Structure 1
Amino acid sequence: MNEPSAALPIRITPEALLREMQQVSEKLTRGSQRLSAYTEEQLAIATTPKDEVWRQDMVRLYRYRPTVEKPARVPVLLAYALVGRYQMIDLEPDRSFVRKLLAEGLDVFVVDWGLPTRAQRWLTIDDYVSGYLDDCVDLIRERHGVDKINLLGVCQGGVFATCYAALFPQKIRNLVLTVTPLDFHGDLDHPEAGAGYMNLWARSMTPEDIDMMVDTMGTAPGAMVGFSFLMMNPVGNVTKYTTELVDMLDDESKMLGFLRMERWIADRPGHPGEVMRQWFKDLYQANKLVKSELMLGNRRVDLDQIRMPVLNVYATGDVIIPVSCSQGMEDRFGTDDYSELSVPGGHIGTFVGGKAQKVLAPSIAKWLRERN
């Protein structure tokens, strides 16, 4: 049997190397000229028209202007996570989850949690759920003359929505959860390569470590929160500013998409310390939500009280919230109308990815119409 031949060495002549360097230099020159010429209007994110209808402290409630003559009578309230700004669901006109929901005829509201400072360090999960979120729900119910509304939660906002539906089931008609961690220990029995690093990191901390972190900082700075996400893929988050960026310099559509995404990433809000303390101890470590043991104030979040229809959406390539932490929850809720929807892509790609965009909003709208 012949031995496999050794790979031939790659020979690069000085002339070829010089040509390559010249091409990269020319591309960088063109790219820098294009970057300097972009206007604020071109780089703007979250441009779907909306109106502020309520505010309290740093929190705002917006209603997006309907794009159909007669939107659905039962409105939808979107609750995003605290660890990122809600603009992700409306990143670009052609990559906007919100615009697609509006096009489907839904009446859409969104709660903007704002930018917490040290003044909000003592806020708890209960303050957000039974305070701000409940006020938003009541205002929408009164404004539209309905007893119940639809609630849609995203990631951490999905946890808030789950808690709210369990504590105030009489106010929610349908519950939609997207890329939401429900079983924070699901990855223990079903580990996924390259996913769940935040779970591992949070569970490795001692209660004393968590207390020291919260007591020292009060509010976790947005830069620190963002850094923890960047460290899930440090190599990828370096190369996107080098080789990947050079490759897209001549593609204006990709370049604008990249810059808008970076703008959203850079606007990372701080995180109230007491929310973080409970998030790490009660959820990441003790997994109390899925066990119906989570206490908000003096009330227990009993998932059996969630008897309205539930749609649970998870992303097949999500490395932040492993699939095992989201799917298979039909026996956890009290409802007999539980549905799951898998979408292609990752945690953020669920809302901005081309494939997921074609599936997510139309499927949610269809599911809601069938139940409204």
Structure 2
Amino acid sequence: MTIENNQWLTDQMPASFSRFKRALEVLTTDADPQVGPTPKESIWTKNKATLYRYVPPVEREHSVPLLLVYALINKPYILDLTEGNSLVEYLTNKGFDVYLLEWGTPGMEDRHMKLDDYIVDYIPRAVRKVLQKSGLVNAQFSVIVWGER
């Protein structure tokens, strides 16, 4: 090892120790962190699906609302993980009117549901509710899909 490498190690030790200490705190404390901290209200439900509207902390600056429809098999709280680590928090702080369609957890009673039921029935109903709540007649949509091809 050269003197330069030793100096780098010496410089990095405090930061590395701090990260290690924080990792230990995370691993040994609260096993169930509180997620979804952005205030929201339920504005529509059907079976297990719920449409939420997030309470904006600032005045709405954008006339077109955002409807987030997350994957059926994943938990949507990833979009509102923790304070400071939240797409929803960021969007509401930027003045967007944000809605989220949460599917709920499917059970045996849902075994006859098809993907078409969600796409053709639930999503259009949620869109109509968002339009009604926002006072709009039309909206534009874009879809983000995360996953492998």
* TM-score > 0.5, shorter chain as reference: yes
Q: Normalising to structure 2: TM-score of the pair?
A: 0.76
Q: Could you tell me how far 1:70 is from its partner in structure 2?
A: 2.8
2:52 partner amino acid:
Y
1:113 partner amino acid:
W
Match of 2:142, SS state, is: strand
Aligned to 2:45: 55
Q: Measure the CA separation in 2 of the matches of 1:100 and 1:83.
A: 24
Q: 1:37-63: CA deviations, max 9, x gaps?
A: x486xx201111101111110010100
Q: Which has the higher contact order (CA 8 A, sep 6+)?
A: 2
Q: Measure the CA separation in 2 of the matches of 1:81 and 1:109.
A: 15
Instruction: State whether residues 43 and 53 of structure 2, in contact with CA within 8 Å, keep that contact through their aligned partners in structure 1.
Output: yes
Q: Could you tell me how far 1:92 is from its partner in structure 2?
A: 1.5
Residue in structure 2 matching 1:93, options 57, 62, 83? 83
* Structure 1 consecutive aligned stretches of length 4 or more whose deviation exceeds 6 Å: none
Instruction: State whether residues 42 and 52 of structure 2, in contact with CA within 8 Å, keep that contact through their aligned partners in structure 1.
Output: yes
Question: Is 1:35 aligned with 2:14?
Answer: no
Structure 2: gaps (5+ residues): 1-19
1:179 partner amino acid:
V
The alignment yields a C-alpha RMSD, in angstroms, of 2.3
Which has the larger share of helix?
1
Q: Measure the CA separation in 1 of the matches of 2:89 and 2:56.
A: 9
Aligned to 1:148: 138
Counting only pairs closer than 5 Å after superposition, residues 92-111 of structure 1 correspond to structure 2 as: 92-111=82-101
Q: 1:58-96: CA deviations, max 9, x gaps?
A: 010100011222342221110000121100111111111
Question: Is 1:115 aligned with 2:115?
Answer: no
1:81 partner amino acid:
A
Q: Cα gap change, 1:179/1:140 in structure 2, threshold over 3 Å: closer, same or farther?
A: closer
Identical-residue share of aligned pairs (%)? 29
Structure with higher Rg: it is 1
Q: Measure the CA separation in 1 of the matches of 2:113 and 2:145.
A: 24
Match of 2:143, SS state, is: strand
Q: Could you tell me how far 1:135 is from its partner in structure 2?
A: 0.8
Q: Could you tell me how far 1:137 is from its partner in structure 2?
A: 0.7
Q: Measure the CA separation in 1 of the matches of 2:65 and 2:136.
A: 9
Question: Is 1:83 aligned with 2:73?
Answer: yes
Aligned to 2:144: 178
Structure 1: gaps (5+ residues): 1-26, 150-172, 181-319, 326-372
Q: Measure the CA separation in 1 of the matches of 2:62 and 2:122.
A: 24
Count of residues paired in the alignment = 127
Q: Measure the CA separation in 2 of the matches of 1:126 and 1:71.
A: 35
